[in-house]
């Protein structure tokens, strides 16, 4: 009896079942605790600084606010990039830090640095510093009706109800922020000898709640306070202003028009052409997406029964359904893969042995789920696929042990001896194989960027499941193999089993042995054929037949449009175009003869990037799921754009395909320089070139022309009258921007109170000539007497990248017609040299997909040598040799041939997922090779020649090699042939595994023995040379 834990488990009657039960129960508990979400949780290492400066132009904001803050923040520790945007009235600075930075400390340091900036304009608001958080959306609700005013109280009530259900993260759109506008005619102000600042001060004095302390402590203490805060139009109309010449008290009602209304340029929302308000429900990091959605939908069903007539509550943009569908997809693929694996096992192995080998798969996966929970993981598309990927890989260890036990039992060993000896015999090779698989995946954990962060779950789960499989293989499986073989000994094998085993032995010892011996005998030819295949595969990549895309982007069921008119265009004109665009989309649907659109959401006054202005709009179109329509998103976009009219003043109408994925835009080009107008010219030149490239659409830049600017300055007469530029600016700002008097809360809404010149005056340029300006003497004079006005065209926004002024050009690429890298190469060769030659342009760089690709591939370039080094160290330890590991590793480059050919045959681009598949392939190929090399060395030690041992090792282990390959391919095959669009995201990884492994199987069976024979011969020569060098000389002769 062998001492040790393996023998204890083999001989114990219940220990294997108890261990299996513990692993299953641990997995069940983990399943109940793991949150379900779309993508793995990851932190955004970005701090944002936001500063409001109402009324300031983009140029002023950049010069007076953005640049001083950038200069102060540029020296932050662990800072990766610094970007800023200056637009009308707003400065935004984004600081991205390296992935391992302490973001709490970084946030505090940024706040300290911002507080040290003392030279900001006095009228700017307090800078706001925030750490960006990633809140995953669950669904959007829209309430539609005939009147927006009727929607407001309902939406606020809905918000309170949803928060009461525990849905704390809710964002509301479509309810314009409101103000109480106190409008006074400038002539009336002149008659009263008042300025807007005087009126504002009066309102502040009379509209306020004043706490005055406590009184009557000796009797019964009471709090003393006033409640004079005006909160309605009538309250403000009744406020006293001054006494007229007859002593009569004038109120605001006598001199002003007061109304409660939406603030200027507030966005408006329309759903299917009707006014609407939207509530977006987001998931907290610790919340389960499906649990949140179920509570939300139950509330929606109850609420719809209580809605007033004419109102409708709709649900759209539901990412949680993708979570649910992808879980179902992965479960279906897992079950399908498990069935195929089980069939393969039952074909090649004894029925009972095959059963217990197959049982090890779910047991190992359940143990892996427990490890996933302990490491803070979640159930998402990536982790679920890693489980599917593990189905075929984790069974390899069990197949090797099970096949060895069967071989020993068929050779005459008793069931206990066969199971025990198989476990001990395969302990070293299987341990080495598992460690090399872990070594292949560990370096993938070092890949940075958003892609590496999201795909981190794949190596994590693979490592956890492989280690769990190792424990199951030697603690649980041998005991079950013993009982299975004992049961088999009492019952003769079936006729089918006898026929198959006989046929297999005839094939293995006949044609297969002859083929292997021929490969070993003609090893030079065998190696030449393999090298030729490798050269052809490399040629597919070098010749451009195989393109690289960082992430595949399957279609989502939604489209996004960006609408931009010339700055200053009235919102009504933009609304008319949005209606025309909706009509064009309806024409596309009618032309197709099928339902394409579920609903459309139009936002007036704001684009999809958050920029605001009366000239902007955006549309989000929720399409019918792809499986229920024949037209692809790209086809809908092309027809929609063709049928939409182009009115005068329209600067851009861009339709985007809202694909999923962690990377940026397909094409994202940043051009830097010193002159904004030169950058705009460079942008126009580049965008014109992009529009002429096949497959490129959605071309846009972020440097739109802004409103025409009027530059005012004091005239000599104004200076002579004692007026200052600051005083003049304050009066103009009060007249046209409005003097903010106070802000109060009203049923969840923040309402501003502003005193300003009447709308008829503010809306006409002629007002500038007659606007009364208060002089230091107290008299008034027209603006034209004290100031001059010059005209200039400015920009809507100005962006800086790394401290340099920049413009970003973005575009989408249809993967069916072109490739991101090919488009970038074309730009770099044919367009950008002329662009960078322009005066005022410094250079360019590619961001978005290109930036992520460069960072990720750089990490992959480090991860691959690290993986090979770790594998070499493990193999050198196992084989106790520096040379034999090279025989195993020499198979690795040839294993890539099948993966590359598979991508080419299926028309699939190489992606980051393909690379992950290649790393998994390396581990699997090496696992098979380890077993063969171990048997080869045993046979040579028994006296067989190198050529005979190489062929015999392959013949002996052929069933295990073929079976491990078949089970791995079968495990992932359902994903490869799944027609679901979301499964296409995983297709490159599966292609690498399936095709690479099919080709690698032939390499292991035919090329590896040839290499072993070649290496064995060379090793014999090296050994003789070493012995000759180390033998002492006798009589002067060696």
Looking at the predicted structure, is the pLDDT value of residue 1026 above 50? no
Which has more pLDDT, 558 or 4? 558
pLDDT band at 555 (very low <50, low <70, confident <90, very high): low
What per-residue confidence (pLDDT) applies to 298?
94
Distance CA 41, CA 46 (A): 15
Quick count: other Cβ atoms within 10 Å of Cβ 716? 9
- Give the residue, 657 or 311, on which the prediction is more confident: 311
By DSSP bridging, strand 268-271 and strand 274-283 are: antiparallel
Check residue 392 and give its pLDDT: 62
Q: Is the pLDDT of residue 867 over 50?
A: yes
Q: What is the dihedral of CA 23, 29, 35, 38, to 10 degrees?
A: 40
Residue 419 has pLDDT above 80, yes or no: yes
What pLDDT is recorded for position 784? 87
Residue 1035 banded pLDDT, cuts 50, 70, 90: very low
Q: What is the pLDDT of residue 912?
A: 79
The pLDDT of residue 247:
67
Most confident of 111-125, 380-394, 537-551, 849-863: 111-125
Q: Which two tokens stand for residue 556?
A: 């989502």
- Look at strands 249-251 and 240-243 and give their pairing: antiparallel
pLDDT in tens, 459-486: 888 888 888 888 888 888 888 888 888 8
Express each pLDDT in 785-819 by its tens digit. 889 888 888 888 899 988 889 999 988 888 778 88
pLDDT of residue 1033: 46
Residue 802: strand, helix, or coil? coil
Return the SS3 of 659.
coil
1038 pLDDT above the threshold of 50:
no
396 or 450, higher pLDDT: 396
Q: Between 311 and 265, whose confidence is greater?
A: 311
Alpha-helical runs (H) found in 165-195? 186-192
Asked whether 226 and 248 are in contact (CB, 8 A), the reply is: no
Structure pTM? 0.77
Asked if residues 162 and 154 have their Cβ atoms less than 8 Å apart, the reply is no
- Report the C-alpha gap between 787 and 784 in whole angstroms: 6
pLDDT at 1032: 52
C-beta separation of 748 from 156 below 8 A = yes
Say what angle helices 891-906 and 523-542 make with each other, to 10 degrees. 50
Do the domains spanning 5-33+322-550+853-1027 and 556-658 agree at the CATH topology level?
no
Instruction: Report the C-alpha dihedral over residues 645, 648, 649, 652, rounded to 10 degrees.
Output: 30
Task: Say what the pLDDT of residue 659 is.
Answer: 60
**Per-residue model confidence as pLDDT tens digits over 11-42:** 888 888 898 899 899 989 998 888 888 777 77
Closest C-alpha among 926, 901, 900, 920 to residue 969: 920
Contacts (Cβ under 8 Å, ≥6 apart) of 442? 459, 463, 867, 870
pLDDT given for residue 110 in this prediction: 93
User: What does the alpha-carbon distance between residue 435 and residue 520 come to, in Å, rounded to a whole number?
Assistant: 29
Q: Flag whether pLDDT at 348 surpasses 80.
A: no
Confidence of residue 111 (pLDDT cuts 50, 70, 90): very high
Q: For residue 134, how many other CB atoms are within 10 A of its CB?
A: 12
The CA distances from residue 396 to 705, 839, 1006, in Å, are 63, 64, 20
Residue extents of the structural domains in the chain: 5-33+322-550+853-1027, 43-133, 556-658, 665-713+788-847
- Percent over 90 (pLDDT), the chain: 19
* Confidence grade of residue 1022 (pLDDT, cut at 50, 70, 90): very low
pLDDT at 979: 63
Q: Which CATH superfamily is domain 43-133 in?
A: Multidrug efflux transporter AcrB pore domain (3.30.70.1430)
Residue 451 CA neighbour count, 13 Å, CB half: 29
Predicted confidence (pLDDT) per residue in 129-141, tens digit: 999 877 788 899 9
- Are the CB atoms for 949 and 466 separated by under 8 Å? no
Q: Which of 35-39, 551-555, 560-564 has the lowest mean pLDDT?
A: 551-555
Please report the pLDDT score of residue 983 as a whole number: 64
Q: What is the pLDDT of residues 772-781, one digit of tens each?
A: 888 888 888 8
Between 215 and 904, residue with greater pLDDT: 904
C-alpha distance from residue 339 to each of 343, 477, 776, 820, 974 (Å): 6, 19, 91, 39, 11
Residue whose token pair is 């260890």: 397
Could you give the CA distance from residue 53 to residue 729 in angstroms, rounded to a whole number?
Answer: 14
Phi, psi of 662, deg, nearest 5: -85, -5
Q: Is the pLDDT of residue 415 over 80?
A: yes
CA distance 72 to 803: 11
3-state SS class at 90: strand
How many Å apart are CA 50 and CA 64, to the nearest integer?
Answer: 14
- What's the CATH code, domain 665-713+788-847? 3.30.70.1440
| d(C-alpha 877, C-alpha 880), whole Å | 5
How much is the CA Rg of the chain, to the nearest whole Å?
37
Class of domain 5-33+322-550+853-1027: mainly alpha
Asked if residues 331 and 31 have their Cβ atoms less than 8 Å apart, the reply is no
Evaluate the CA torsion angle 133, 136, 141, 142 in order and state its sign.
Answer: positive
Output the pLDDT for position 412: 81
- The answer to whether 120 and 840 have CB atoms below 8 angstroms apart is no
Number of C-beta neighbours around residue 818 at 10 A = 17
Nearest alpha carbon to residue 334 among 280, 266, 267, 392: 392
Give the percent of the chain with pLDDT over 70.
94
Q: 360 burial class (0-12, 13-18, 19+ CB within 10 angstroms)?
A: buried
- Residue 381 or residue 418, greater confidence: 418
Crossing angle of helices 381-410 and 987-1002, in 10° steps, is: 20
pLDDT band at 303 (very low <50, low <70, confident <90, very high): very high
What does the pLDDT read at residue 1028?
43
State yes or no: pLDDT of 1021 exceeds 70. no
- Give the Å distances, CA to CA, from 345 to 118, 350, 352, 499, 970: 74, 8, 10, 16, 11
DSSP letter at 981 equals G
Q: Tens digit of pLDDT for each residue in 178-191?
A: 899 999 988 888 88
Beta bridge partners of 222: 215
Mean pLDDT across the chain: 84
Q: What is the pLDDT of residues 743-781, one digit of tens each?
A: 888 877 889 999 998 888 888 888 888 888 888 888 888
pLDDT tops 90 at residue 64: yes
**1005's tokens:** 């069976």
Q: What CATH number should be reported for the domain whose range is 556-658?
A: 3.30.70.1430
Residue 1031 confidence (pLDDT) above 70:
no
Q: Per-residue pLDDT tens for 150-180? A: 899 999 999 999 998 888 789 999 888 889 9
């Amino acid at each position: 009896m062998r001492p040790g834990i393996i023998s204890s488990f083999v001989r114990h009657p219940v220990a294997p079942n108890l261990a299996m039960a513990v692993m299953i129960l641990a997995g069940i508990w983990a399943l109940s605790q793991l949150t379900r979400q779309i993508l793995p949780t990851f932190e955004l290492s970005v701090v944002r600084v936001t500063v409001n400066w109402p009324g300031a132009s983009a140029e002023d904001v950049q010069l007076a606010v953005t640049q001083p803050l950038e200069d102060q923040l540029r020296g932050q520790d662990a800072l990766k990039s610094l970007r800023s945007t200056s637009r009308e009235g707003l400065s935004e600075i984004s600081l991205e830090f390296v992935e391992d930075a302490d973001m709490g400390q970084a946030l505090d340091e940024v706040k300290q640095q911002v507080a040290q900036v003392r030279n900001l304009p006095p009228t700017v608001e307090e800078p706001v510093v925030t750490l960006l958080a990633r809140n995953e959306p669950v669904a959007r609700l829209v309430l539609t009706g005939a009147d927006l005013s009727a929607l407001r109280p309902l939406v606020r009530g809905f918000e309170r109800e949803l928060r009461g259900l525990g849905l704390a993260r809710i964002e509301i759109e479509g309810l314009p922020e409101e103000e109480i506008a106190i409008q006074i005619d400038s002539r009336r102000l002149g008659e009263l000898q008042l300025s807007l600042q005087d009126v504002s001060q009066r309102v502040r004095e009379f509209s306020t709640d004043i706490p005055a302390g406590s009184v009557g402590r000796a009797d019964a203490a009471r709090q003393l306070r006033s409640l004079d805060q005006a909160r309605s139009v009538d309250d403000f109309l009744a406020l006293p202003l001054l006494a007229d010449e007859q002593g009569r008290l004038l109120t605001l009602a006598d001199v002003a028009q007061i109304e409660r209304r939406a603030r200027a340029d507030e966005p408006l929302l329309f759903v299917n052409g009707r006014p609407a308000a939207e509530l977006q429900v987001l998931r907290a990091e610790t919340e389960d997406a499906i649990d949140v959605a179920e509570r939300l939908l139950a509330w929606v069903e109850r609420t719809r029964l209580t809605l007033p007539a004419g109102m409708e509550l709709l649900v759209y943009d539901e990412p949680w359904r993708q979570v649910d569908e992808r879980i179902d997809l992965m479960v279906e693929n897992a079950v399908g893969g498990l069935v195929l694996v089980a069939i393969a096992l039952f074909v090649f192995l004894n029925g009972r042995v095959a059963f217990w080998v197959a049982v090890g798969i779910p047991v190992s996966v359940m143990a892996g789920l427990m490890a996933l929970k302990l490491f803070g993981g979640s159930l998402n598309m990536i982790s679920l696929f890693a489980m599917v990927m593990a189905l075929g890989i984790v069974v390899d260890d069990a197949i090797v042990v099970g096949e060895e036990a069967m071989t020993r039992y068929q050779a005459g060993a008793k069931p206990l001896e066969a199971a025990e000896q198989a476990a001990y015999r395969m302990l070293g090779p299987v341990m080495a194989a598992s460690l090399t698989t872990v070594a292949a995946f560990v370096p993938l954990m070092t890949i940075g960027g958003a892609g590496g962060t999201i795909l981190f779950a794949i190596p994590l789960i693979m490592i956890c499941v492989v280690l769990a499989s190792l424990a199951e293989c030697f603690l649980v499986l041998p005991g079950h193999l013993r009982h299975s073989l004992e049961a088999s000994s009492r019952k003769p094998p079936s006729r089918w089993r006898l026929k198959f085993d006989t046929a297999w032995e005839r094939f293995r010892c006949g044609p297969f042995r002859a083929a292997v011996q021929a490969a070993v005998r003609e090893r030079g030819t065998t190696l030449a054929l393999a090298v030729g295949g490798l050269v052809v595969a490399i040629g597919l990549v070098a010749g451009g037949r195989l393109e690289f895309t960082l992430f595949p982007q399957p279609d989502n069921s939604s489209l996004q449009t960006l609408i931009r008119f010339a700055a200053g265009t009235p919102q009504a004109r933009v609304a008319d175009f949005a209606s025309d665009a909706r009509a064009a989309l309806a024409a596309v649907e009618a032309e197709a003869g099928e339902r394409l659109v579920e609903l459309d959401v139009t936002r007036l006054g704001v684009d999809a990037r958050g920029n605001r202005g009366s000239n902007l709009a955006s549309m989000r179109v929720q399409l019918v799921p792809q499986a229920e329509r024949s037209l692809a998103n790209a086809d809908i976009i092309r027809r929609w754009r063709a049928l939409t009219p182009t009115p005068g003043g329209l600067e851009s109408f861009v339709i985007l395909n809202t694909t999923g994925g962690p990377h940026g835009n397909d094409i994202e080009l940043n051009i830097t320089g010193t002159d904004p107008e030169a950058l705009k010219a460079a942008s126009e030149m580049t965008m014109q070139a992009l529009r002429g490239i096949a497959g490129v659409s959605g071309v846009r830049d972020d440097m739109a022309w802004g409103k025409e600017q009027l530059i005012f300055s004091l005239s000599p007469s104004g200076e002579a009258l004692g007026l200052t530029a600051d005083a003049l600016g304050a009066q103009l700002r009060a007249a046209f921007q409005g003097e903010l008097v106070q802000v109060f809360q009203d049923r969840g809404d923040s309402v501003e109170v502003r005193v300003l010149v009447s709308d008829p005056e503010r809306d006409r340029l002629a007002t500038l000539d007659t606007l009364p300006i208060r002089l230091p003497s107290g008299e008034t004079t027209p603006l034209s007497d004290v100031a001059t006005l010059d005209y200039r065209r400015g920009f809507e926004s100005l962006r800086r990248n790394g401290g340099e002024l920049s413009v970003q050009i973005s575009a989408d690429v249809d993967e069916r017609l072109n490739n991101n890298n090919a488009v970038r190469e074309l730009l770099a060769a044919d367009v950008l040299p002329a662009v960078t030659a322009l005066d005022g342009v410094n250079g360019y760089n590619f961001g978005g997909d290109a930036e992520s690709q460069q960072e990720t591939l750089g990490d992959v370039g480090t991860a691959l040598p690290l993986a090979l080094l770790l594998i070499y160290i493990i193999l050198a330890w196992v084989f106790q040799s520096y040379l034999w590991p090279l025989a195993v590793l020499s198979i690795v480059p040839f294993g890539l041939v099948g993966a590359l050919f598979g991508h080419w045959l299926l028309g699939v681009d190489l992606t980051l997922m393909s690379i992950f598949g290649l790393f998994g392939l390396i581990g699997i190929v090496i696992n098979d090779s380890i077993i063969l090399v171990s048997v080869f060395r045993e046979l040579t030690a028994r006296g067989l020649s190198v050529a005979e041992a190489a062929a015999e090792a392959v013949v002996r282990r052929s069933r295990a090699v073929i079976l491990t390959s078949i089970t791995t391919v079968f495990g992932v095959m359902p994903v490869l042939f799944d027609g679901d669009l979301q499964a296409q995201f995983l297709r490159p990884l599966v292609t690498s595994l399936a095709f690479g492994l099919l080709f690698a199987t032939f390499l292991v069976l035919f090329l590896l023995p040839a290499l072993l024979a070649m290496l064995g011969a060379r090793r014999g020569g090296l050994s003789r040379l070493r012995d000759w060098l180390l033998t002492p000389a006798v009589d002067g002769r060696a």
